[in-house]
Amino acid sequence: MPIETLFDPLRHKEVAATPEERVRQWFIALLMQHSSVPPHLMMSEAPLQFGAKKWRADILVYDRNGAPLAVVECKRPGVDIDKNVAGQAMRYNMVLNVHWIILTNGERTLVFKREGSQFKACGTIPVYEEMLCRQ
């Protein structure tokens, strides 16, 4: 029986259609359509390294100069978006120094914007131009 796949427009290839991958691809489409994020300024499964530790961020959004702007952590539906998921995104932020952190399981999405040295909850997913305003 063939494995079901989805096309990832950021990686330019077919990927296994796991529950988490479905959420990732849904959110990539949302960022491109709703938030007007240019696809060439996003990366999925972006490799990160902090010391000897290696990670992969689900989705990274970059500014027009190629600096990390937002990190999106995707979980499969049914996984709680809790302090552990937030902690994972904050670890990525130690490397990335982003202005936006987005956590989603496809059912619930939480958005946080950096204000000074802290991240504050926002009510909506920002459009790309809003992400660029770093206040």
pLDDT on residue 29: 97
**Residue whose C-alpha is closest to residue 67's, from 39, 92, 32, 98:** 98
**What number of other Cβ atoms are within 10 A of residue 42's Cβ?**
21
**CATH for 10:** 3.90.1570.30
Q: Please tell me the distance from the alpha carbon of residue 30 to that of residue 92, in angstroms, as a whole number.
A: 22
- For residue 56, list its beta bridge partners: 47
pLDDT on residue 134: 64
Q: Please tell me the distance from the alpha carbon of residue 21 to that of residue 87, in angstroms, as a whole number.
A: 21
pLDDT (tens place) for every residue of the chain, 135 residues total: 778 999 999 999 999 999 999 999 999 999 999 999 999 999 999 999 888 889 999 999 999 999 999 999 999 999 999 999 999 999 999 999 999 999 999 999 999 999 998 999 998 999 999 999 864
pLDDT on residue 123: 85
Q: Model pTM? A: 0.94
Q: Which residue has the tokens 């996003």?
A: 42
What residues have CB less than 8 Å from 74, skipping those under 6 apart? 20, 23, 24, 27, 58, 59, 104, 105, 106
Number of domains in the chain: 1
Domain range for 52: 5-132
DSSP state of 41: G
